Chains A and B, each alone.
Chain A
């Protein structure tokens, strides 16, 4: 057993231990704290699996944005688990079922075909037609661009769904928790110092994403975090669901993507195809617009809807 494998084994055990804690902890808050560290540990797992792009996403979303969402909810909910958890019979049955599924999965994973099938050579071979150097970006925006386009619609529907949960009498009101947050000069200072740096980092991650790890989603999430930070500091007000400006930013990325996709019919014969001469620039343009929309979407999803006036 090599040293690297021992380290891998330690990491796996740690991840599993944190996962057990997250499920088993009695109180919700520590369980969610466990989940945040689970997200960060997974980011390391992704680096070990040679997926730096995924690691960036996982750190930004799994540990970051999802963690903020869950912690925010846990802080507000007053529910406690009952004295007696789910019935012992149910737990035993669920446990047996889950154990069986894990065992089946483990067996399948250990007996996957060797050599493994791979699309890597084809993905690399297609790169010149797209003009980008990062094959993951090529998959996301070119080969399987339709997934990315529909995924943006999924995000948009999630935003709509979250807004839909506004009580009728509060439609058009500001989302509460960020609007009324107590001003704290430490946070104000952090926002003033960090936000400009964060914006630069976010844009940088999108820019290099064409050729190196990074991309619209990772960069967009950082921008969203900066937006949330300056709102938390009270430096700018949040935008209500009725804000036309906000809606246009939300729609800009998907709309441009769709427009370029349809233009593909005229320019190079197929929906979502790029003429090779402009491919790189078109893709950068789409990524830039998507970044803005993603930042707005993630921000809105984390802030949540306006709550009932009291």
Chain B
């Protein structure tokens, strides 16, 4: 049982890590600010979600699991707002096309 749980965690966290890697690759390779933001947020939200999911399996109790979910939600909120503000700033400066 414990082995199965550990395996689940390893899988999920690795998948999450891969998402982060992909997001970073997008950040570096995509041509302009908006597409970069797009790549970054998509991949990172998913990546963090997967990692949190993997870690919930290891959480000491329901309270710990709840805290992990809260972390994910807060990161979502912060990420979404930051992206929104950044995107508007990019548009305002007229740099949305390469």
Q: A residues within 8 Å of B by Cβ?
A: 184, 186-187, 189-190, 193-194, 197
Chain A residues near B85 (CB, 8 Å)?
Answer: 184, 186-187
Give Cα A186–Cα B77 distance, bound, in whole angstroms. 10
Q: Which 8 A-B pairs have the closest CB atoms?
A: A186-B84, A190-B81, A186-B81, A186-B85, A184-B85, A193-B77, A194-B77, A187-B85
Give Cα A184–Cα B88 distance, bound, in whole angstroms. 9
Give Cα A186–Cα B83 distance, bound, in whole angstroms. 10
Interface string of B61-83 (1 = CB under 8 A from A): 00000000000001001101100
Taking chain A's interface residues, is the majority helix, strand, or loop, or is none over half, making it mixed?
helix
Give Cα A184–Cα B84 distance, bound, in whole angstroms. 10
Residue in A closest to B92 when the chains form the complex, CB atoms = A182
Taking chain B's interface residues, is the majority helix, strand, or loop, or is none over half, making it mixed?
helix
Give Cα A16–Cα B40 distance, bound, in whole angstroms. 25
Q: How many residues of B contact A (CB 8 A)?
A: 8
Rounded to whole Å, the gap between the CB of A132 and the closest CB of chain B is 22
Give Cα A202–Cα B78 distance, bound, in whole angstroms. 17
- A190-B88 in contact (CB<8A): no
Give Cα A77–Cα B81 distance, bound, in whole angstroms. 26
Chain A residues near B81 (CB, 8 Å)?
Answer: 186-187, 189-190
- A190-B78 in contact (CB<8A): yes
Rounded to whole Å, the gap between the CB of A52 and the closest CB of chain B is 14
- B74-A194 in contact (CB<8A): yes
19 contacts between A and B (CB under 8 A): A184-B84, A184-B85, A184-B88, A186-B80, A186-B81, A186-B84, A186-B85, A186-B88, A187-B81, A187-B85, A189-B81, A190-B77, A190-B78, A190-B81, A193-B77, A194-B74, A194-B77, A194-B78, A197-B74
Give Cα A239–Cα B88 distance, bound, in whole angstroms. 28
16 more CB-based (< 8 A) A-B contacts, given A184-B84, A184-B88: A184-B85, A186-B80, A186-B84, A186-B85, A186-B88, A187-B81, A187-B85, A189-B81, A190-B77, A190-B78, A190-B81, A193-B77, A194-B74, A194-B77, A194-B78, A197-B74
Rounded to whole Å, the gap between the CB of B33 and the closest CB of chain A is 14
Rounded to whole Å, the gap between the CB of B66 and the closest CB of chain A is 13
Give Cα A186–Cα B85 distance, bound, in whole angstroms. 7
Rounded to whole Å, the gap between the CB of A152 and the closest CB of chain B is 29
Chain B residues near A184 (CB, 8 Å)?
Answer: 84-85, 88
Chain A residues near B78 (CB, 8 Å)?
Answer: 190, 194
Give Cα A194–Cα B77 distance, bound, in whole angstroms. 8
Residue in B closest to A193 when the chains form the complex, CB atoms = B77
Give Cα A193–Cα B80 distance, bound, in whole angstroms. 13
Chain B residues near A193 (CB, 8 Å)?
Answer: 77
